[in-house]
Amino acid sequence: MFNYLETLQNYGDRCAYRVLDGANVTEKSYRRYLKDANIAAARLEEKFGDLTGKHIGIFEQTSYEYAAILAAIIFSRAVAVPLNNLESEKNVSFAIKTAKLDALIADNWMFADPGVPVISISEIVTGKITDKRLSDFSDAEGDRERSSYLHPGQQVFQKV
């Protein structure tokens, strides 16, 4: 099994992300990215409890923060459900119901009540700094059935 988080640690201060905002360029190191993912995981757990197996929707434009939060969700053993923020309300609502979300990350939620708790990216990346130590997946976790990540009654689709 590939140890992704260990690799981030080993790359340390090398540039992992270069964020371009007009004339402004900001670089984020692998160490910073890992730290931000750990902070995001801690804040998500403060808001939603243990994330293991939960389906967490992300309704945002992609950004550095999006990438750190995505890592936090995945390495907290939750299921990340990216939602297209350019879709219609009808399609997004359908996706939320179909994915059986437990929570939603959305800064500018403009639709009707999604029926699940909502947290904004700004709530995740600002405020008191708490930290969680994320861990790589073990070989035993890699061997688990995909069905262990499903809600009761959901089915795994397989190629025919």
Residue 50 lies in a domain: yes
Count of residues for the chain? 160
The confidence band for 82, taking pLDDT boundaries of 50, 70 and 90, is very high
Q: How many domains does the chain have?
A: 1
Residue 144 lies in a domain: no
pLDDT reading at 132 higher than 80: no
Q: Report how far residue 93's alpha carbon sits from residue 73's, in angstroms, rounded to the nearest whole number.
A: 21
Domain of 69, CATH number, reads 3.40.50.980
Structure tokens at 90: 């009808």
Checking DSSP bridges between strand 118-119 and strand 24-29, what pairing results, if any?
A: unpaired
Place of tokens 């390495």: 75
Residues forming beta bridges with residue 25, ordered by sequence position: 20
Digit-coded pLDDT (tens) for 64-80: 999 999 999 998 999 99
Cβ count near 31 (within 10 Å): 16
The confidence band for 1, taking pLDDT boundaries of 50, 70 and 90, is low
Residue 135 lies in a domain: no
Digit-coded pLDDT (tens) for 9-62: 889 999 999 989 889 999 999 999 998 998 999 999 989 999 999 999 999 888
Residue 24 lies in a domain: yes
Range of the domain at 76: 4-128
Digit-coded pLDDT (tens) for 83-98: 998 888 899 989 998 9
